[in-house]
Structure 1
Amino acid sequence: MLAVAIAIGLLPSTAAAHTVLVRADPASGAVLAESPGLARLWFSDEMATSRSTARLIDHRGANVAGTRLVGGSGDPRVIAVVLPRLAPGSYGLVWEAVSAEDGHATNGTVLFAIGAASAFLPSSDGSSTELVRRWAALASLAGLVGPLAVCLLVVGRREDPESVFATARRRLLTTALAAGLMALLISIADLLVRASELTDVLGGDWGRLWIVHTAALVVLCVLVVILRGPGRRRWQLEIAVVALLALLMWVEALGSHAAALPSGRPAALAAGAVHAFTGLLWLGAVPALLVVLWPRGRSRSDLALLVRSCRGPFSVLAGGSVLLLLVTGLYSAGLQVATTSSLIASSYGRLLLLKTGLLAAMGVLGLINARRLRQRPRPARTIAVETGVGLVLLVAVAALVNQPPPLGAAASVSDASPGFSSADGPADRTALTRSGSVADLVVTVSATPNQPGANWFTVLAESSRRPSPAPIDQIDLQFGVAPGDQTVALERLTSTRYFATYQAEAAGALRLIAVVHRAGQEYAVPLDWRVSPVEAPVASGRPLAPYVDVAALLLLEGALVAFTWWFLRRSRGGSG
């Protein structure tokens, strides 16, 4: 117990949220008249630039030659790719962003077309693989938590002369051991997938959480093996199992969306840990009951004895789990979903509603099975149906874990999920374009996002004469109150298009001069510029938290009233 307490104390108090693609230029689904020359991706968190990549593929899925990443942009939240001259057709920008804080990788594909809206490529972001991996991890944890809970709390310590309870315990512990080993293998595979540089991954928050998670799984598997052995079980081992399960759930909470909340993090983490524990317990206890009541090798009298003995304790276990699951789920939804409209407008909200519907369906099946347990000694078939619904519910949970929640102001960024981005997000509205001319030269300068911090400047310079008197050699941008305060040399994308990055110190007026070098002469084009202030987007709709918090309180009060009524009725019946 002391070691568990020390491990919890050493865990990081925060965990990074998913690195989400906030905006893309070109936007996903855009149809461009000509090749853009440069593609940029803006993300929600700082990235490990040395490990974050992007590549361009054509409509056949082949890599497009001539693309290269831009280094030293000054903004660790941006990936920029210089593109060659692209022919008309469909293209996909396949990216992978590695978080600088915890080494977690997200990926996706931004699709756009040149010349015509030809058939776009299907997304190849690998999200389905991540979904399957996460589902398998959750299913294995449920297969570990549920059988252990049923073994310790439902079947109990009783030694039946006919060994029917001993057989049930062995079945449950064998199932728990198999699930624990599966969870351990998935954890190791997860490390191998992430660990292109092992020291970088294990040195971050994700690596420390992985170490504690894996160590807890190893110790749990050892304890389960000891419990399966002959002799009386010691209560010290059972307490150690419960403590390690609590540690596993705390690690799950530290790696969840609750750890990235800007405020109220301790309560959110506690609610997340309880929610994870009760959810996995319920989803794992149903198939565990199926293991106990599986008719193979059992006589009708043995099944009837097991049903009578397990019916009451299992109902209490399942009912308490569902109650805590609903209360903590409502509270967490109020923290992670900003408004009522976000439940429909965001992918996270829609997945949350789907999860709630499946949860309700499983609850109805649970009530039906509880009734049938009183009527027939062979309820395995109906419990198997409830188990199947639970497996489907885990798919929704896995998808929900991989989806960024619409937290606060982030809800207005048009649900910019990995691989797809909004074409009219806040960054687009702050972009600024100015044009000027000198001699025969027409110069157009645009900046994105035109806010304090790192900005991307794109310059288009062309001659109004045909043919041009001379080719352009170089273009510089001069920033400051007076000409020449700071000069930035632009990089050529095409014969007429250039780009550069500039760090704007503050919002307000900015002196900007584009200097075109051609045939040994300089042509200066002054432009009036104003850097826009950063405006936090405001989420639309009514706040969701008051509604779900009241619902959680009413649910707790209703459960307390029902328990009090049941207790008084039982007491009166016993005294009479």
Structure 2
Amino acid sequence: MASRLSLKYGQRLLFALLLALVLFVLFPSISEAHAVLLRSDPAQGAVLSAAPTQVRMWFSEDLNPTFSTAAVVNAANQRVDSGNAHVTGTDPREMDVSLQANLPPAVYIVAWRSQSADDGHILKGSFTFSVARPDGTVPQLSGNTQSGQNLQGGNTTDLVSGQLDAGTLLSFIMITLADLGIVFWVGAQLWHTFVQQVSEAGDAEQKALEQQAEERFARYLAIPTLIVLLLANLGILLGQALTITAGQAGQLPATLVKLAANGHFGTFWSMREIVIVLAIILAVFSLLNKRRSENLKGLLSWGNLLLALALLIATSLSGHAAAVNSDLLIFAVLADWLHLLAASLWIGGMLYLSLAYLPVLKRCTPIERARALLAILPGFTPLAVAGIVIMAATGPFNATVHMTSWEQLLNTPYGRTLDLKVLLVVILLLVSAFHLWILRPRLRNDYKKYVEAHNLLQASTETEQEPLDEKRSQPKAQVRWLEATVSRQGATLSRVLRWEPLLGVAVLVCTGLLSVFAGTLQPALPQGAPSGAPAPTRPFITNVKTSDNKFTVQLNVTPNRFGSNVFTVTVLDSSNKPATNVGVVIDTSMLDMDMGTDTIDLQPDGKGHFSASGNLSMGGHWQLRIQVRTPDNTLHEARVKMFTPF
């Protein structure tokens, strides 16, 4: 009965996880990849007839103003900006830098560094624009000109080109160690809570083996894993500090404090460390207090499970999932949390099986080892299958949702790493399928035959008193043959289970590389006019009634393209005549990501038309809230959704 209940629980868990996956698919626009540069003014490659007075840049995520900055240099690598790069007060995703007056005709390089206020990741990159000569000719960069200078020494393009400098290499190692630590430790807690339920319904020998595996984890694996996890999270912060300071040791302490104390990322990074410290305290208490009551054991088990789930939540809230439109934040964090949970269920469970459970079986006979594997693996299978389904679905989606073209799979470090990760996942799936559908059924069938033959031989031995004759030697030979077969198959299954987690570790290594290579997926910035004519666009024109049906609003947005547009509104009253004694204001909001709300105050022409210039900062889906205010100070509102091409 207990076994059936635990299997039903596994089925319910699988159903709940699949339902959460459906919710994730219903909200696809939820994944970002660091604070990536979306567009700039001047645009990349723009050729200008006159020198600009400033450079404006817009990014995909809110910027941390403490560590986001930019510099502009000429072909001789001399700075030509005023040193006042800053995140604007009106838009946390915009960074501006002023230029020196009357810049001569030349090619200029803008070198920028961004730190996401949400996930803490740091990106660096550069782009160029040109000021044409009076005769219209365009200056060119020489072949040996650097593409940009580090804002504090070094080269700015390491993360963009995929090269690993010291800070980035340290970040990669620490991110990988943190991922491994989280997946293994959380996977162990899930194993103790769910897989062990199957063992509790088994016999005393199986319970003893599971208890020995749990004791081995507590004695040799739990505390070292948590300490590595604690240090790895510190290393992630140190890697960011090295990137920001370009390795200048004197600036590291102050930078580390600022990173931990500032922004959304710093808050949840601190939460991760607090959870890990609490988990270490529980692990030490469990190790020292060996004579625990059953009630205390249960409390410690559920306490560790709650800490494991809290660690996953803190990790999700300090990652890419937190850097999305606030309307989708819950679903984004849920999707990222599910991905981490899936990795813990599948890869973490395999690591626990390999490092904690299989070593305990070495003291068993081959037949006992096979019996133990056949008893424990059915309890792990529902969790592993759930993890496979969700990890296989959310992983590639989270990785590719911000890719702009299929070519990036081959021509960027991020894309090539993603290719390798997908290949490793496919191999891992095939290996898992091999032991689930081929090795284990064979072992189960032959073990069943062995048990039946062994029992028959035992029964015949107990009932017959004459000396062993040829008639009884045949069953004994069959038992020996089945015993050898079961032993060989059990050893093969053990080897597969012991080495299979290495593929999972390789997948997590690729995940760490994807994190540091995300900067190589920067979208191509809109080119300047000389690089080619923009794609043709049409003005956006529509008629809509206010929510109280008292006015009809005629809206015209020209040219309906990212950048500056002219917004024209004609307000018609109930008799379909232009209303001239009203005021009109438009609020613009980006629907694809949270970029704040801009207000455009339209000016009347006295004939019922109201117009003004306004900025649509990027292509995509927009919502316009048109407010018509009458002389009695009553507000009449209409909402319009539109798509603006790049």
With the length of structure 1 as denominator, give the TM-score of the two structures: 0.58
Equivalent of residue 252 in structure 1, options 309, 315, 330: 315
Map 1:136-155 onto structure 2 (within 5 A): 136-154=177-195
Query: How far apart are the structure 1 equivalents of 2:281 and 2:367?
Result: 33
Question: CA 1:200/1:136 → structure 2, altered by over 3 Å: closer, same or farther?
Answer: closer
User: CA offsets per residue over residues 359-382 of structure 1, 9 Å max, x none?
Assistant: 232121112234446313364543
Query: For residue 534 of structure 1, what is the amino acid of its counterpart?
Result: L
Query: For residue 250 of structure 1, what is the amino acid of its counterpart?
Result: I
Question: CA 1:107/1:255 → structure 2, altered by over 3 Å: closer, same or farther?
Answer: same
Map 1:25-40 onto structure 2 (within 5 A): 40=56
Answer yes or no: is 1:393 the counterpart of 2:507: yes
Query: How far apart are the structure 2 equivalents of 1:15 and 1:363?
Result: 25
| Corresponding residue number in structure 2 for 1:366 | 432
User: CA offsets per residue over residues 191-238 of structure 1, 9 Å max, x none?
Assistant: 454562736743533233223221211111222233334234611111
Q: Quick check: 2:229–2:276 contact (8 Å CA) kept in 1?
A: yes
| Corresponding residue number in structure 1 for 2:221 | 175
Question: CA 1:340/1:203 → structure 2, altered by over 3 Å: closer, same or farther?
Answer: closer
Which has the larger helix fraction? 2
User: CA offsets per residue over residues 144-173 of structure 1, 9 Å max, x none?
Assistant: 123333455446678759975554323323
Query: For residue 314 of structure 2, what is the amino acid of its counterpart?
Result: V
Question: CA 1:82/1:264 → structure 2, altered by over 3 Å: closer, same or farther?
Answer: closer
Question: CA 1:162/1:134 → structure 2, altered by over 3 Å: closer, same or farther?
Answer: closer
Query: For residue 112 of structure 2, what is the amino acid of its counterpart?
Result: W
- Count of equivalent residues: 426
Query: How far apart are the structure 2 equivalents of 1:400 and 1:507?
Result: 44
Query: How far apart are the structure 2 equivalents of 1:15 and 1:338?
Result: 6
The percentage of counterpart residues that share the same residue type is: 20
User: CA offsets per residue over residues 505-534 of structure 1, 9 Å max, x none?
Assistant: 749899xxxxxxxxxxxxxxxxxx984652
Partner secondary structure for residue 377 of structure 1: helix
Partner secondary structure for residue 353 of structure 2: helix
Question: CA 1:306/1:150 → structure 2, altered by over 3 Å: closer, same or farther?
Answer: farther
User: CA offsets per residue over residues 118-146 of structure 1, 9 Å max, x none?
Assistant: 26668323555443332221111122123
Question: CA 1:366/1:16 → structure 2, altered by over 3 Å: closer, same or farther?
Answer: closer
User: CA offsets per residue over residues 452-485 of structure 1, 9 Å max, x none?
Assistant: 99xxxxxxxxxxxxxxxxxxxxxxxxxxxxxxxx
Query: For residue 124 of structure 1, what is the amino acid of its counterpart?
Result: D
| Corresponding residue number in structure 1 for 2:302 | 239
In the TM superposition, residue 241 of structure 1 has moved relative to its aligned partner by 0.9
Map 1:126-137 onto structure 2 (within 5 A): 127-137=168-178
Partner secondary structure for residue 347 of structure 2: helix
Query: How far apart are the structure 2 equivalents of 1:161 and 1:79?
Result: 66
Higher mean C-alpha displacement, 32-41 vs 215-224: 32-41
Question: CA 1:530/1:333 → structure 2, altered by over 3 Å: closer, same or farther?
Answer: farther
Question: CA 1:378/1:296 → structure 2, altered by over 3 Å: closer, same or farther?
Answer: farther
Q: Quick check: 1:355–1:393 contact (8 Å CA) kept in 2?
A: yes
Question: CA 1:167/1:142 → structure 2, altered by over 3 Å: closer, same or farther?
Answer: same
Root-mean-square deviation (Å): 5.2
Q: Quick check: 1:15–1:205 contact (8 Å CA) kept in 2?
A: no
Query: How far apart are the structure 2 equivalents of 1:397 and 1:105?
Result: 14
Map 1:249-398 onto structure 2 (within 5 A): 249-262=312-325, 263-292=327-356, 298-299=362-363, 301=365, 304-327=367-390, 330=393, 355-370=421-436, 371-372=438-439, 374=443, 375-377=489-491, 379-398=493-512
Query: How far apart are the structure 2 equivalents of 1:509 and 1:450?
Result: 16
Query: For residue 316 of structure 2, what is the amino acid of its counterpart?
Result: A
Query: For residue 333 of structure 2, what is the amino acid of its counterpart?
Result: L
Answer yes or no: is 1:537 the counterpart of 2:641: no
| Corresponding residue number in structure 2 for 1:107 | 123
Query: How far apart are the structure 2 equivalents of 1:335 and 1:102?
Result: 17
Question: CA 1:35/1:535 → structure 2, altered by over 3 Å: closer, same or farther?
Answer: closer
Query: How far apart are the structure 2 equivalents of 1:83 and 1:265?
Result: 41
Query: For residue 433 of structure 2, what is the amino acid of its counterpart?
Result: L
| Corresponding residue number in structure 2 for 1:411 | none
Return the index of the structure with the highest Cα Rg: 2
Q: Quick check: 1:34–1:115 contact (8 Å CA) kept in 2?
A: no
Query: For residue 181 of structure 1, what is the amino acid of its counterpart?
Result: I
Partner secondary structure for residue 196 of structure 1: helix
Question: CA 1:330/1:246 → structure 2, altered by over 3 Å: closer, same or farther?
Answer: same
Mark the runs of 5 or more structure 1 residues left unpaired by the alignment. 1-13, 405-414, 432-447, 454-503, 511-528, 540-576
Query: How far apart are the structure 1 equivalents of 2:368 and 2:528?
Result: 63
Q: Quick check: 2:349–2:384 contact (8 Å CA) kept in 1?
A: no
Q: Quick check: 2:223–2:284 contact (8 Å CA) kept in 1?
A: yes
| Corresponding residue number in structure 2 for 1:98 | 115
Query: How far apart are the structure 2 equivalents of 1:289 and 1:252?
Result: 24
Q: Quick check: 2:260–2:269 contact (8 Å CA) kept in 1?
A: no
Question: CA 1:319/1:240 → structure 2, altered by over 3 Å: closer, same or farther?
Answer: same
Equivalent of residue 280 in structure 2, options 197, 221, 226: 221
Question: CA 1:295/1:214 → structure 2, altered by over 3 Å: closer, same or farther?
Answer: closer
In the TM superposition, residue 242 of structure 1 has moved relative to its aligned partner by 1.0
Mark the runs of 5 or more structure 2 residues left unpaired by the alignment. 1-29, 130-138, 148-154, 160-164, 242-253, 444-488, 536-561, 568-597, 605-610, 622-646
Query: How far apart are the structure 2 equivalents of 1:58 and 1:307?
Result: 71
| Corresponding residue number in structure 2 for 1:70 | 84
Question: CA 1:309/1:239 → structure 2, altered by over 3 Å: closer, same or farther?
Answer: same
Query: How far apart are the structure 2 equivalents of 1:452 and 1:48?
Result: 32
Q: Quick check: 1:90–1:111 contact (8 Å CA) kept in 2?
A: no
Q: Quick check: 1:88–1:115 contact (8 Å CA) kept in 2?
A: no
In the TM superposition, residue 85 of structure 1 has moved relative to its aligned partner by 11
Q: Quick check: 2:171–2:235 contact (8 Å CA) kept in 1?
A: no
Map 1:531-570 onto structure 2 (within 5 A): 531=613, 533-534=615-616, 537-538=619-620
Question: CA 1:131/1:425 → structure 2, altered by over 3 Å: closer, same or farther?
Answer: farther
Query: How far apart are the structure 2 equivalents of 1:227 and 1:217?
Result: 15
Question: CA 1:116/1:181 → structure 2, altered by over 3 Å: closer, same or farther?
Answer: same
Query: How far apart are the structure 2 equivalents of 1:82 and 1:295?
Result: 66
Question: CA 1:331/1:167 → structure 2, altered by over 3 Å: closer, same or farther?
Answer: closer
| Corresponding residue number in structure 1 for 2:482 | none
Question: CA 1:92/1:49 → structure 2, altered by over 3 Å: closer, same or farther?
Answer: same
Equivalent of residue 184 in structure 1, options 230, 236, 241: 230
